[in-house]
Structure 1
């Protein structure tokens, strides 16, 4: 492997939906990007604006799209644009050229012929094709081109879907493949999967089979769109968009294109008939009902009496009907079952319509996946990794199969007419009972050729709690687990519902700090849940408030504040490693850590305003403290106060870790961002060790926080009243805003003064509890608990 290969500049050829978003993701990680596309017809020579219209319009459209393809709008400055005719020569200065033009082999070959004229020897060239055989693209190219060329198939949207398939040809240098595999994972944050040059590669081959199998099942049984989406969403560890909503988002034409390609290019596939397009899909194509891009697909939204109403397609009649809520007895049973593994066992054993669906479609999928080895991959873990990262599944086919028990499931599959591949029988005959196992702190997969278990390559540098928890747990309660992660560092993880913070988590925080102070060097707080933490347990707060147990509520909030202050003022360093949602109390925890090692996809915010409260776990106090540290005399003070006030008052949530810096949730110069989530805990551990080894000194509580008193309080009051007068906020919002301003200003002090953290925590707690006595606050909390909706009353 060429250890000196560094990617500083990337050229992306083609600015369509994929090209523009791939360019944005490279800009996300600090790379300089050149984005090129064709010149519009009749654009005059020398008119740069006219000649770059296609590429500039495409980039502008991408940057305005939601969800955004870029971490921060300012990162777009790392992208320069141009066209194939005037600017292709610039690629001579670029380290990696990625082709993302239209899916036509002849056009791709023309582009590569031009690329070869200008690229330097040794420059990487890859194609983002999703279906054209990779080896056909290099016909007529030089040996150096062929050695440095392969497929690099990103999934859309590139920022959010983790799969990156690397598809080499027989000519691709091994060191080029190794580099791209590591670069994709380490720097782009991808699950990089080495794929063979077979139709649709791995992710789409398996994922589209799963979708087509379900479509045919719906056609055969008459199951509705709503029923199938209910069964194929979060209940089985799949995205909320499930099956039909996912098709609407991706585009029905895209799915059909892949299915038709498989039908044509995989003639010996034993399940070829399942890639035939169902009649109702043909009808939708005829009507141009392609999904979101055409305004309707399996679902559509219309205004009815001034309100949005959702309609679902009747697959038999191709008529739209109001979307119906559906229920299955087996799903009701699993509502209280948090473990996906346990849920799957219940669902597959169910005797209702849901159980029939799962057994029919997933037994087909298991058999199909087993038969694709070694055709599309030599190792089974690659199939699970590709589908999980490309389609957002929590468990791939072999992982689900493991959860159900391999041997028992094989018998059930045989009875259902979905017999798996012979190697599965050979595996069971060898004494191996599962496709995966944990050994020596590593997850291992069953290797079919050697008939032994091997460590999944590339995972040696990760610290994954799921791999080490069982052997290294030193303490646990119902909501937390403390694990020794080596070198004198321990980790505290939450495993409550949505990782909310209640009494068991507070107990875990205190226990972890006590253990670390006694016997370890430092503490990391991280977990492998879907989200770091959705905040405090508002259900508990609601019950106390409804029952008017305000003294007890005051004690609970004080205990929360005390735990946050222990994080800040313990004798050992505490590092928080948040990912995805870190809201409310989850954000407050991070605000009090010595350092935050954040995953790039971090949606962080103090969101208590939305439930009629202000941050009560030290978050308001911490904003006052940080405001004090950045204050300057004069108008700047009030400007900074207003910014902090609005961040909480508008419940701003960052759309990335980088935006969390902009909002003041993360500290520039102290906190860091990691793009690869698999490396998050290992990075956090290293930063914790560094703090400890550099001679960590226990901080002293602050008594020098400068608050502005009445002058800032007046600003907050006037601002709230102005917003109310303009009908932007409600009367209750005014009351919450006044409480917030009171705490941030340090009360109604006659002049700027120095106060302590304890003083501010007292104000914060008093404001929080007093708002819990308000009927409208309780209505807001109830709306969140019962319907997940923010109520503005």
Structure 2
């Protein structure tokens, strides 16, 4: 549960970070006071803070999970409103990285804050001891560093730094709040320059930039080497610098050079290339400027990605990377760093130097390697941390290559000789400590990970697309395992097996997985293959089988709880609609998107959405209002922008739960399932009173208007008509209710009719090839 002691937060500084932190507090349902300096011009002295909130409503990706969250943000200025921090239970300072300005602000804060109120700085470079110099004992006891990563809504890492003076009670309050309420993963850091993520990340970036210039590797090839093969986001290094801004690099460098020891390895590689200085001076500061290492050349409607030549400084059409394929491209790190020529040298330059630097910094920056790996994975979105990289290469292999180059071998690397940094022992994941012994990787109370359970158990049932796991206390987890967690006949088969198994021996079922996305929906590639061989009976059988499987979950004699995170599209959305309850991660992007590929929902999604909207609060009576709303959402393939937005769209019920911290999602879904199991009764099948042909005609009037205005294509009209037919009950008597089974039959019929249309085939092919919808 959230820390009830923090009921209101004050954020001082409404720049990108400060306003983003304020938005995330509001996303969590907590009132926040956002202050900045008073505006110099005009009568509105709060204009700067107010402008920051207004700007966030136009920003993509959106800082607010729903525009309604802005109602929880109050704005003000530090001259007129600083006294209001007395109302707040946590004060977050996020102003400019200037020690004197921060100290001046702290002196003012100390006058107004309640004694014992936590205060933290979002600084990324100034040591804590310097920040609190000259402050009272109570201020020092209440002060810590909470370093968020940008953008605060989406980046899971928060680096937490304390001092010997910091109260344990204060730390507990703030840690609990940022973990459970704001959904962040806390990594404890030592009070050292750059803490963990930026200390190593800045070194990694500098090594990558220097190496590309020195070895003559193009920016396209550099990002291809450092990106996917190493488990790094596709931005690689040069794309990442463009994203955060080239002009930020000199400031980071100057800060680290002034605070790091003179013998730190970073000091030896810190340099700004003349080309980078030139780019910054000419306004090529990255995506926020005219471009950077990459730029988008716009010629009318035509957009061409261009990349800079590091030798000449001239732009050219971005080339397809020329890095050799094979094992290196598949994540084999040893094959990557042993490629012939400059590509292998570049890969080793970045990887070898980065892991050596990280190994040399433990325990200086973190007591454990787990803290370092977690910080890099959470703060930079790496798939693997530096010590996991070493395990893939082999500690002895890394040591030998460093020795061969005449470089020092870190003591921690020597300690791992003949061993790995991580191992599984007795069903527990363990890490190598600085004492030379292995220790269990500990999880916080309320954190339950399926990946941990798998270390000591085997699936109850498993096939090529899904598995069932016993997660304790009589609860079973259904996991999708295919690519993008797509749904097919094997998933439906296992759902049928699960229904019998859970009913016989268990209490409840949770539908959950730890993929990036819950499910991309039905396997379109399989549908395309079946279409090409004219296997229409098999497709119709799959649709019918999916309907039966989802009904088996809905009417099972035990509760089913959906626990989605990320995308839950099409059939992935429909399985959630059939669950008794949902415990969703806050970042949930759910929707019935079938119309985008020329189809309609056919695994019960139409009926389930109608039933939800019929019972939505304040929904007008009669058959047409719910039908019109569902038609609007489904025909436009609307996808929620968050779990909060999913409630507004009816994909989640008002009573469904939202978990901010993804690591806590399975545990909280399990608790919900156990609570439902205590006196569970399966739901009664719904009947649908629908408006019939007259209702369909009304819906199509709107579609025709959109078509006439050029907002809907010819085939959009056809697909919309199929959807309207289902939602209004077909050609039946509007006075006579239709059953759930009749609704499902309508879905099947209209789905198969659209699947037989070549225009649907074109949409599916385009989606599979480009990932974008075809407007035909």
Which category describes the TM-score, using the shorter chain as reference length? over 0.9
Distance 2:124 2:97 in 1: 8
Please give the alpha-carbon distance, in whole angstroms, between the structure 1 residues aligned to 2:429 and 2:408.
27
Which deviates further from its counterpart, 710-719 or 553-562? 710-719
* Contact 1:628 1:706 (8 Å CA) reproduced: no
The alpha carbon displacement at 1:59 in A equals 1.7
- CA deviations 1:379-402 (Å, max 9, x no partner) are 111111111111111111111222
Partner in structure 1 of residue 117 of structure 2: 123
Q: CA deviation at 1:317?
A: 1.5
Of 240, 261, 276, the match for 2:234: 240
Query: C-alpha separation between the residues in 1 aligned to 2:111 and 2:307?
Result: 52
CA distances 1:288-337 after superposition (whole Å, capped 9, x unpaired): 3111221211111122253111111111111111112224333x5577x6
Structure 1's 652 and 353: CA in aligned 2 closer, same or farther, altered over 3 A?
A: farther
Instruction: State the SS of the aligned residue for 1:166.
Output: strand
SS of the residue corresponding to residue 390 of structure 1 reads: helix
Number of the residue aligned with 2:265: 270
Query: Of the candidates 551, 554, 572, which is equivalent to residue 586 of structure 1?
Result: 572
Aligned residue runs from structure 1 range 199-210, under 5 A: 199-210=193-204
Matched residues in 1 for 2:60 and 2:674: separation? Answer: 39
Shift of 1:346: 4.7
Is the contact made by 2:612 and 2:653 (CA closer than 8 Å) also made in structure 1?
Answer: no
Which secondary structure state, in structure 2, belongs to the residue aligned with residue 172 of structure 1? coil
Q: Secondary structure at the match of 1:707?
A: coil
Contact 2:323 2:343 in 1 (8 A): yes
In structure 2, which of residues 666, 680, 683 is the aligned counterpart of residue 681 of structure 1?
Answer: 666
The one of 245, 253, 256 aligned to 2:247: 253
Task: Sort the Cα spacing of 1:457 and 1:185 in 2 relative to 1 into closer, same or farther, 3 A.
Answer: farther
User: Of 654, 667, 681, which aligns to 1:697?
Assistant: 681
Distance 1:8 1:123 in 2: 12
* Contact map agreement 1:542 1:781 (CA 8 A) in 2: yes
Structure 2's unaligned 5+ residue stretches are none
Displacement of 1:178 after TM fit? 3.3
Native 8 Å contact 1:299 1:310 kept in 2: yes
Contact kept in structure 1, 2:395 and 2:416, CA below 8 Å? no
1:686 Cα deviation after fit: 0.8
Q: TM (normalized to structure 1)?
A: 0.94
| Alignment match, 1:393 | 382
Task: Tell whether the 8 Å contact from 1:607 to 1:651 is kept in structure 2 after alignment.
Answer: yes
Question: In structure 2, what is the equivalent of residue 495 of structure 1?
Answer: 481
2:754 alignment counterpart: 771
Alignment of 1:552-701 (within 5 A): 552-629=538-615, 637-669=623-655, 671-692=656-677, 694-701=678-685
Aligned residue for 1:36? 35
Aligned positions of 1:191-230 closer than 5 A: 191-230=185-224
Closer, same or farther: CA 415–619 of 1 in aligned 2, 3 Å: farther
State whether structure 2 residue 294 is matched by structure 1 residue 294: no
Contact 1:368 / 1:420 at 8 angstroms: preserved in 2? no
In structure 2, how many angstroms separate the alpha carbons of the residues matched to 1:276 and 1:265?
16
| Deviation at residue 418 of structure 1 after TM alignment | 5.1
Report the alpha carbon displacement of residue 523 of structure 1 after superposing the two structures with TM.
1.1
* Structure 1 unaligned regions, length at least 5: none
Mapped to 2, the partners of 1:5 and 1:497 lie a distance apart of: 41
Cα offset, 1:580, TM superposition: 0.7
2:352 counterpart of 1:358 = no
The secondary structure found in structure 2 opposite 1:454 is strand
Residues 41, 146 of structure 1: alpha-carbon distance in 2 compared, 3 angstrom cutoff: same
**Contact 1:29–1:187, Cα closer than 8 Å, also in 2:** yes
2:308 to 313, 318, 323: 313
Given that residues 127 and 153 in structure 1 are in contact (C-alpha distance below 8 angstroms), is that contact kept between their aligned partners in structure 2? Answer: yes
Taking structure 2 as the reference length, the TM-score comes to 0.96
Distance, in Å, in 2 between the alignment partners of 1:352 and 1:585 is: 47
2:440 paired residue number = 455
- In structure 2, the residue matched to 1:112 is 106
1:759 paired to 2:742: yes
Aligned to 2:713: 730
Write the distance in 2 (CA, Å) between the matches of 1:407 and 1:517.
52
**In 1, distance between residues paired with 2:465 and 2:393?**
26
**For the structure 1 residues 418 and 179, does the alpha-carbon distance in structure 2 shift closer, same or farther, using more than 3 Å as the test?**
farther
Partner of 2:728 in structure 1? 745
Please give the secondary structure, in 1, of the residue aligned with 2:247.
helix
Hey, what's the Cα distance between the residues in 1 that align with 2:247 and 2:16?
A: 15
User: What is the DSSP-based 3-state SS (H/G/I as helix, E as strand, rest coil) of the residue aligned with 1:57?
Assistant: helix
Q: Answer yes or no: is the 8 Å Cα contact 1:200–1:258 preserved in 2.
A: no
Q: Distance in 2 between matches of 1:417 and 1:53?
A: 58
Which position in structure 2 is the counterpart of 1:156?
150
- Give the conservation status (yes or no) of the 8 Å contact 1:623–1:744: no
Q: Matched residues in 2 for 1:513 and 1:355: separation?
A: 52
What secondary structure is seen at the aligned counterpart in 2 of 1:463?
Answer: coil
The alpha-carbon deviation at position 135 of structure 1 amounts to 1.1
- Note the alpha carbon deviations across 1:161-211, whole angstroms, 9 max, x for none: 111111112321233223323322222111111111111111100111111
Q: Secondary structure at the match of 1:598?
A: strand
Aligned length: 773
Shift of the 278–97 alpha-carbon distance from structure 1 to 2, 3 Å rule, reads same
Q: CA RMSD in A?
A: 2.1
Q: Deviations over 1:30-74 (max 9, x none)?
A: 11111111112255xxx4xx2111111122112221111111111
Distance across 1 between alignment mates of 2:223 and 2:624: 51
SS in 1 for 2:494: helix
Match of 1:368 in 2: 357
Q: How far off its partner does 1:572 sit?
A: 1.5
Shift of 1:624: 3.0
Preserved CA contact (<8 Å) 2:466 2:491? yes
Tell me the residue number matched to 2:49. 55
Alignment partner, residue 450 of structure 2:
465
Quick check: 1:78 aligned with 2:67?
no
SS of the residue corresponding to residue 100 of structure 2 reads: helix
- The answer to which of 709-718 and 89-98 deviates more is 709-718
> Deviation at 1:245?
1.9
Of residues 226-235 and 154-163 in structure 1, the stretch that sits farther from structure 2 once superposed is: 226-235
Q: Distance in 1 between matches of 2:408 and 2:284?
A: 36
| 1:428 alignment partner, SS class | coil
Contact 2:624 2:690 in 1 (8 A): no
The Cα of 1:415 is off from its aligned counterpart by 3.5
Cα distance change on mapping 1:294 and 1:428 into 2, 3 Å: same
Which shows bigger deviation, 159-168 or 630-639?
630-639
The verdict on how the C-alpha distance between 1:538 and 1:595 changes in structure 2, with shifts beyond 3 A counting, is same
Q: Is the 8 A contact 1:631 1:640 kept in 2?
A: no
Shift of 1:569: 1.3
What's the secondary structure of 2:689's corresponding residue? Answer: strand
Alignment counterpart, residue 95 of structure 1, candidates 66, 84, 89: 89
- In structure 2, the CA distance between the partners of 1:305 and 1:27, relative to structure 1 (3 Å rule), is closer
How far apart are 1:553 and its partner, in Å? 1.0
Judge conservation of contact 2:557–2:681 (CA < 8 Å) in 1: yes
> Partner of 1:13 in structure 2?
12
